[in-house]
Structure formats: C-alpha cells, structure tokens
Amino acid sequence: MHTIDGRFGGKTVIVTGAGSGIGLATANRLLREGAQVIVNDIDSERLGVFAEQGSAVRVAGDLTDEGIVRALFEAADGSLDGLANVAGIMDGFLPVGEVDDATWERVFAVNVTAVMRCTRAAVRQMSASSGGSIVNVASEAALRGSAAGAAYTAAKHAVVGLSKNAAFMHRADGIRVNVVAPGAVRTGIEATPRSERGFAQIAGLLGAIRPSTAEPEDIAAAIAWLLSDESKNVNGAVLSSDAGWSAV
C-alpha cells in the first residue's frame, strides 16, 4: 500500500494493540512514514517483531492495569504527538438477556476504561505542548445494534461518545480526537460465538448486507490520515472504513 515518506518525521506516536491486526499494521505504517513509535500489546511475544527490527519502543502489558498505562506514556518522555487506541476485545455475540457480568465488565474495562485512561494521559501530555491527534478505533457496532453482542455494542457506542466529548473539550488545546469505525477486517481478534441466538440473528443479517472483508492495512491507512496534519480540519468525526456497510 502506498505510504508517504517523512509524513511523521520528528513525531512520537503511541499505538495500542500493536501486536497483531490493525494495531500492527498501523505501527508499521507509522514507522515507514518516519514516526518514533511506542507500541503496546497484552502479549509481549507478539511485540517481538519490533525487537527484531529494533524500530519501536515496546511496553507490554494489560491496559486495564493503570501501571501499564503510566509506563506506556512515560515512555514518550514528555513528547507525544499522536495516539492510536486500537486494543480491544469481542464479547461472544451475547445478547443482553444472556450476557454475564464478567464478560460485560471485562469488555468495558478493555474497550472503554482503558481507552479513556490512555486518552486522558495523552490529553494531559499534549495540552502541555503543542497539541496532537488521537484516534480511537470503534466499530460498525458503534453505529448500529446488529453487528455484535450487547457488551461490545454498548462499549463501542461509548467510545464514540467519549471521543466526541474529548474533541469538544480539548479543541482549544490544539488536540483533535477522531474515531475510525471498521467493518469486517481480517484480524486475529477472538470472535468465537458464545450465543446461538445472538450469532444466528447477526449472521442472518450480515449474510445479506455486509460488504467485503478488509485487510488491516486498509484501516491503518485511515488511522494514519487522521493522525497526520493532512486532517487538521477534522475533529470529533467518525470515519467509517467498511466498504459501504454503514450506507446500507
């Protein structure tokens, strides 16, 4: 995929969920375009590719641990220009009548609370300097009720609300906060159905209307654009990257 040499030269960007899928594609693209990249993943082994390349600062760990969030942002050493909140988990397609408390709380901890904490830390660092750009990855499930289970759907709607509020509240600090809402993407995220009813309802509909499955690099391109100065007039937006699914 076409990249822009030097687009992120001299800039420092944090990417969460960088061990695979969209996060990995985003980190690699930013590196190719000149950024100093700080990467996080819950699985330290998956970050090994960056160690082999010697190309990124690695901070492994679970972002629901506030200590890991602190370590991640301390690695920026006070200089932060961008944040891509990519890390997330699915919910087994459990409808609200079947969802258990443990699933609900874990999905919200990873997909909302960790995103809030990372966004909060980024805003504090960026406000003290010259601003920056934050991109939070939501989902088609943030735009409709027919793409996932109750916990994931509610969490991704929350990501959009959090992002729009942050965009409004911190625009005077020179900080932009936007959302990318992917459709189906070829990634390694765990999406094993745990509800016969939930999966049957969704699969029947998606079989009729869902467009093609994207590659992680397709979503990384949208994230990189929103992180870059090329999108300086875009703030509080939700950019669907779903091959037209959201138009149905």
The residues annotated as belonging to the active site are 152
Strands 36-41 and 238-241: unpaired
Q: What angle is formed at CA 119 by the lines to CA 219 and CA 234, rounded to 5 degrees?
A: 55
Q: Beta-carbon neighbour count of residue 60 at 10 Å?
A: 19
Contacts of 121 (CB under 8 A, 6+ apart): 69, 70, 72, 73
CA–CA gap between residue 17 and residue 135 (Å, rounded): 13
CA–CA gap between residue 186 and residue 147 (Å, rounded): 16
